[in-house]
């Protein structure tokens, strides 16, 4: 073998020493850390401790709901503990003498248009999104060509357990969209949509179905593909700051980050979905036909996209969900004119749309609840779901999905 005895001794020594001082007592490494990284770690009271190796830096901060200064120790490592955090998945970054970067101690996640860090503050009842001893479906990477955009695209398709073995079964389909600055990985990487589906199906709470997770970005050849680009260019240029991802909590007293939508937001994606994606899915997989077997939902900007697509095409979908994002019409909502009058005849709408689901975290403000109440007042049946104590973050969206999916295709 290539490993000499002396090398083994060095490694062993480092390991033993590492174990000796690596972790403050009672602080459990975040499940999102790279293998073996002791920091960031989470205390029982949900304070989070960080450590950054920046030997020659003058100032090091953790940026999570505002900036938190770390302190340089005599060993040259910067450490600090931030106040108790709410449960869930939180994007964060570190600042090293003004450079905003990912913390090398955690896995990197695509959010806000780039690859940043995250911690997971465990939920005591988080079993619904963890891998259990139940039958597991697959998440399949699928390449397909879009005639609308003129480009190859990639989506991920969740197929339920035993999809291959049940060669004669056909399934309904949920089209599930990420938020601004994320991509087709969001739902199964940050959101654990596959494990949520596995657990719901195993418990008999959800019908077996396909879940198609595509990328919300779509531009025709002559259109500006700036959905990410605006932010990316800004991020690379700005000397002042890089705004946090959409799924990050704002600093106290600050507004939540708001995406910059391109002029063509929504329309091209809807065209691509109807022209390319759905036909490809229904040709490639064993699907059930028609609107009664199609649902669409999304988070944040993906929720807005879902409302725009489905409410403009209710002949094609019977189930609709918006998680922390739905209709742009909250402020001056007029049921007679909103979304080209689709709500004007409430009885007709209710007969067509089998589910209109609105989900939100209680820390996100009253907008969605108000919208639900306005719909109800206009006679539009809808389900309003609240995630207790959570903000515009992935835990809200995992909980939304977990509540939404059992209501589909009944």
The residues facing 142 across adjacent strands are: 155
Structure tokens belonging to residue 161: 């357990």
Q: Is 238 in the site for its own copies (CB under 8 A)?
A: yes
- Residue carrying structure tokens 């697509």: 309
CB of 13 to its own copies, least distance (A): 10
Report how many residues bind its own copies under the rule CB under 8 A.
91
Choose which of 252, 263, 340, 347 interacts with its own copies (CB under 8 A).
263
Site for its own copies in 65-94 (CB under 8 A): 75-77, 94
CB of 10 to its own copies, least distance (A): 8
Measured from the CB atom, the residue of 255 and 347 that comes closer to its own copies is: 255
Q: Is 53 in the site for its own copies (CB under 8 A)?
A: yes
CB of 132 to its own copies, least distance (A): 9
CB of 147 to its own copies, least distance (A): 12
Q: What is the spatial distance between Cα 22 and Cα 121, in angstroms, rounded to a whole number?
A: 20
Site for its own copies in 185-224 (CB under 8 A): 188, 194, 217, 224
CB of 399 to its own copies, least distance (A): 22
Measured from the CB atom, the residue of 265 and 357 that comes closer to its own copies is: 265
Q: Is 256 in the site for its own copies (CB under 8 A)?
A: no
Measured from the CB atom, the residue of 162 and 376 that comes closer to its own copies is: 162
Choose which of 26, 147, 150, 258 interacts with its own copies (CB under 8 A).
258
Measured from the CB atom, the residue of 224 and 334 that comes closer to its own copies is: 224
Site string for its own copies, 381-410 (x = CB under 8 A): ------------------------------
Q: Which of 131, 142, 247 is nearest to 194 (CA)?
A: 131
Residue environment code for 200-218, b if the CB has 16+ CB neighbours within 10 A, otherwise e? bbeeeebebbbbbbbbbbb
Choose which of 31, 66, 207, 234 interacts with its own copies (CB under 8 A).
234
Q: What is the spatial distance between Cα 283 and Cα 122, in angstroms, rounded to a whole number?
A: 40
Structure tokens belonging to residue 75: 């060993």
Q: Is the link from the previous residue into 40 a cis peptide, with omega within 30 of 0? A: yes
Site for its own copies in 335-374 (CB under 8 A): none
Site for its own copies in 283-322 (CB under 8 A): 284-285, 304
Runs of H (alpha helix) within 34-100:
none
Measured from the CB atom, the residue of 86 and 288 that comes closer to its own copies is: 288
Listing DSSP states for 326-344 in one string gives --TTSTT--TTTHHHHTTS
Phi-psi region of 113 (alpha: psi -120 to 50; beta: other; left: phi over 0): left
Name residues whose C-beta falls within 8 Å of residue 56's C-beta, 6 or more positions apart in sequence: none
CB of 87 to its own copies, least distance (A): 23
Listing DSSP states for 209-267 in one string gives -EEEE--S----TTS--HHHHHHHHHHHH-SS--PPPTTSPPPTTSPPP-----TTTTH
Q: Is 97 in the site for its own copies (CB under 8 A)?
A: yes
Measured from the CB atom, the residue of 214 and 318 that comes closer to its own copies is: 214
Site for its own copies in 118-147 (CB under 8 A): 131, 133, 136, 138-145
Residues in the chain: 410
Q: What is the spatial distance between Cα 272 and Cα 274, in angstroms, rounded to a whole number?
A: 6
* Angle CA 150–155–286, to nearest 5: 105
Choose which of 79, 108, 313, 381 interacts with its own copies (CB under 8 A).
108
The sign of the dihedral angle between the CA atoms of 216, 222, 223, 225 is positive
Measured from the CB atom, the residue of 26 and 145 that comes closer to its own copies is: 145
Choose which of 51, 68, 392, 398 interacts with its own copies (CB under 8 A).
51
Q: What is the spatial distance between Cα 103 and Cα 32, in angstroms, rounded to a whole number?
A: 11
Measured from the CB atom, the residue of 171 and 319 that comes closer to its own copies is: 171
Q: Is 7 in the site for its own copies (CB under 8 A)?
A: yes
Choose which of 9, 18, 71, 170 interacts with its own copies (CB under 8 A).
18
Strand 383-387 relative to strand 355-361: parallel, antiparallel, unpaired?
Answer: parallel
Choose which of 9, 15, 203, 292 interacts with its own copies (CB under 8 A).
15
Q: Is 107 in the site for its own copies (CB under 8 A)?
A: yes
Q: Is 264 in the site for its own copies (CB under 8 A)?
A: no
The residues facing 365 across adjacent strands are: none
């Amino acid at each position: 073998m290539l490993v000499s005895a002396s090398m083994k001794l060095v490694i062993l020594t480092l390991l033993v020493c590492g174990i000796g001082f690596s972790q403050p007592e009672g602080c459990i490494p975040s499940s999102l850390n790279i293998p073996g990284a002791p920091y960031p770690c989470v205390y029982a009271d949900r304070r989070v401790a960080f450590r950054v190796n920046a030997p020659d830096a003058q100032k090091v901060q953790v940026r999570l709901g505002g900036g938190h200064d770390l302190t340089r120790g005599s060993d040259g490592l910067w450490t600090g503990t931030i106040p108790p955090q709410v449960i869930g998945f939180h994007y964060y970054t570190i600042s090293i003498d003004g450079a905003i970067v990912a913390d090398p101690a955690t896995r990197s996640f695509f959010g806000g248009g780039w690859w940043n860090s995250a911690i997971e503050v465990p939920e005591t009842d988080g079993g619904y999104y963890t891998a259990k001893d139940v039958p597991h479906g697959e998440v399949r990477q699928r390449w397909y060509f879009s005639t609308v955009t003129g480009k190859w695209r990639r989506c991920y398709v969740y197929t339920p357990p035993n999809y291959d073995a049940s060669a004669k079964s056909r399934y309904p389909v949920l089209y599930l969209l990420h938020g601004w600055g994320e991509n087709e990985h969001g739902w199964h990487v940050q959101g654990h949509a596959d494990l949520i589906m596995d657990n719901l199906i195993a418990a008999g709470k959800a019908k077996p179905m396909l879940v198609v997770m595509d990328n919300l970005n779509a531009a025709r050849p002559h259109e500006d593909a700036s959905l990410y680009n605006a932010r990316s260019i800004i991020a690379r240029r700005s000397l002042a700051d890089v705004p946090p991802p959409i799924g990050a909590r704002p600093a106290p007293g600050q507004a939540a980050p708001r995406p910059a939508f391109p002029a063509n937001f929504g329309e091209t994606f809807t065209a691509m979905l109807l022209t390319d994606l759905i036909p490809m899915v229904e040709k490639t997989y064993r699907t059930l036909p028609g609107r009664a077997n199609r649902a669409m939902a999304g988070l944040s900007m993906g929720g807005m996209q879902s409302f725009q697509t489905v409410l403009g095409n209710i002949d094609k979908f019977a189930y609709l969900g918006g998680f922390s994002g739905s209709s742009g019409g909250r402020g001056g909502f007029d049921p007679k004119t909103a979304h080209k009058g689709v709500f004007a005849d409430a009885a007709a709408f209710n007969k067509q749309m089998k589910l209109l689901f609105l989900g939100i975290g209680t820390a996100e403000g009253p907008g969605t609840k108000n919208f639900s109440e306005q719909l109800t007042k206009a006679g539009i049946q809808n389900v309003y779901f609240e995630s207790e104590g959570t903000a515009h973050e992935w835990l809200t969206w995992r909980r939304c999905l977990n509540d939404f999916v059992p209501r589909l295709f009944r």
